[in-house]
Amino acid sequence: MVVVINDDRVTDVEAYVPIAKAFAADSVKNDEGCISMEIITDPATPGRVLYLAHWESEEAFKRNSTGATFQKWLPELGKYFISAEDKIFEIR
């Protein structure tokens, strides 16, 4: 199992978060290997939104970025997107 922290920078946190939450719920429901996904904001850093996700494997996470759920939500998320960085940690 892996934990993935996706660290996004966005132009409008208030507009982005509801879309991110809908994407996260859709991923947990429909993406094979997605165990959980939470959306976290950082009040100390304007425009920062984190996804904290548990995946069965790194491969399952990587499939998500090219899968149907991500592609479905990309146009809405993309309106506010500036940049992102993924960090993958292994649970032992």
**Spatial CB neighbours of 23, under 8 Å, sequence gap ≥ 6:** 69, 70, 73, 77
Q: Judge whether 91 and 5 are in contact, CB under 8 Å.
A: no
pLDDT in tens, 10-24: 999 999 999 999 999
Q: Which domains does the chain have, with CATH numbers?
A: 2-90 (3.30.70.100)
pLDDT in tens, 15-64: 999 999 999 999 999 999 999 999 999 999 999 999 999 999 999 999 98
The model's pTM: 0.93
User: What pLDDT was estimated at residue 31?
Assistant: 96
Instruction: At 92, list the tokens.
Output: 């032992």
- Phi then psi for residue 68, to 5 deg, are -65, -40
Query: At residue 65, does pLDDT exceed 90?
Result: no
